[in-house]
Amino acid sequence: MAPTILIVGATGNTGRSVVETLSDSINTSEALAGHRIIALTRSSNSSVAQKLAKLPNVSIEEKNWVDISPDWLRERNVVKAFIASHNEPSHFADESTFHLAALHAGVKYVVRISTTAANVHPDYPAYYPRQHWAIEALLNSPEFEKLQWTSLQPNTFTTMALGPALELIKQYRKDGKQDTLVLMADEDARVGYVHPDDVGRFAAVLLCQEDYSVHNKAKYVLNGPEDITGKQIVKLVEQYIGTQVKNVKFRDMSFIDSAAASVKENKSLILSIKYAPVTAWEGKCSVATTSKEVKELAAPQITPAGWLKSALEA
């Protein structure tokens, strides 16, 4: 069977771009000659999955990745993998089990998605960055020496940070009315929000490397091509609606309260997510923190203004 690259979360934020980039690269990359791609999804009937299934060298498999075993990986001759895990309370148990299966199956290299680099510490107040820290510590242990890996630490996604701006513009164009523009951004702090497609493209470039050992145990920080402040997001909105934004609320994390209210368990963990943007508010998440390897191999291209324009034209 042909050597296989497994993409876990293929229809998600970053996975789609990984699959598309790899599919384009297989016929031109010597390192990937003869490889095939398995795009894993929980629903092969989704529009994204059906689109990916039409790409060269790509096959779709429907499976919940938390159930992947060493035998499953061996049967498909998986030699490399990409994983973008969920950030729910069971994250560490689920992702560590996947890496254990990869280790026992003889998978050679894994690229994984972590979270904002400034937050990945064992004492961070938000719970999920601590889980990413624990996964990286596990992979860095002697027991996992045979499994080579790279951890990508992307900033907050552009789509999430500017999502409320997009919705306000759409609503204003529809009925001329404005609700309060609620932004997680600080009014003045410069933040390098990154688009998921740029993250996926960089992950794919790593998986294409003939000598990926130079990236083993690396933790790369990804930001977008330019910083933006909360004030600048407001100005972008005003350019599109042709009038002043009447009411703005910066540093808004009220959506976390709604998320916590909708669950029966782990409410305190969900509420701790409110601490996630604090490092950005403190000015620790600008484009100045981007790893040089990211700029050299696949520099981010999608600016906040560029994404907003394309989203409104879609």
pLDDT at res. 1: 83
Neighbours of 45 (CB within 10 A): 9
In the chain, the percentage of residues whose pLDDT exceeds 90 is 95
Name the band, by pLDDT with cuts 50, 70 and 90, for residue 314. Answer: confident
Task: Give the dihedral sign, CA 305/308/310/312.
Answer: negative
Q: What is the separation of C-alpha 107 from the centre of its chain, rounded to a whole number of angstroms?
A: 22
Averaged confidence pLDDT in the chain = 96
By C-alpha distance, which of 106, 41, 58 is closest to 79? Answer: 106
Residues facing residue 80 across a β-bridge = 5, 109
pLDDT at position 117 over 90: yes
Per-residue pLDDT band at 28 (split at 50, 70, 90): confident
**HEC string for 56-67:** CCEEEEECCHHH
The pLDDT confidence band at residue 31, using thresholds 50, 70 and 90, is confident
What would the pLDDT profile of 223-246 be if each residue is shown by its tens digit?
Answer: 999 999 999 999 999 999 999 999
For the four alpha carbons of 221, 86, 217 and 7, in that order, the dihedral sign comes to negative
The H or E element containing residue 81 is strand 78-83
Q: Please report the pLDDT score of residue 159 as a whole number.
A: 97
What is the chain's Cα-based Rg? Answer: 20
Average pLDDT on 30-34 reads 88
Mean pLDDT confidence for 269-287 = 98
Q: What is the mean pLDDT of residues 254-265?
A: 93
Residue 33 has pLDDT above 90, yes or no: no
Domains and CATH numbers, the chain: 4-156+195-222+291-298 (3.40.50.720), 158-190+225-286+301-313 (3.90.25)
The predicted model gives 143-155 an average pLDDT of: 98
The predicted-structure confidence for 163-184, as pLDDT tens digits, reads as follows 999 999 999 999 999 999 999 9
Please report the pLDDT score of residue 79 as a whole number. Answer: 98
pLDDT category of residue 133 using cuts at 50, 70 and 90: very high
With contact defined as beta carbons under 8 Å apart, do 3 and 79 qualify? yes
Farthest CA pair distance, the chain: 61
Convert the pLDDT of each residue in 63-107 to its tens digit.
999 999 999 999 999 999 999 999 999 999 999 999 999 999 999
**For residue 203, what pLDDT is reported?**
98
What's the whole-number mean pLDDT along residues 1-19?
A: 95
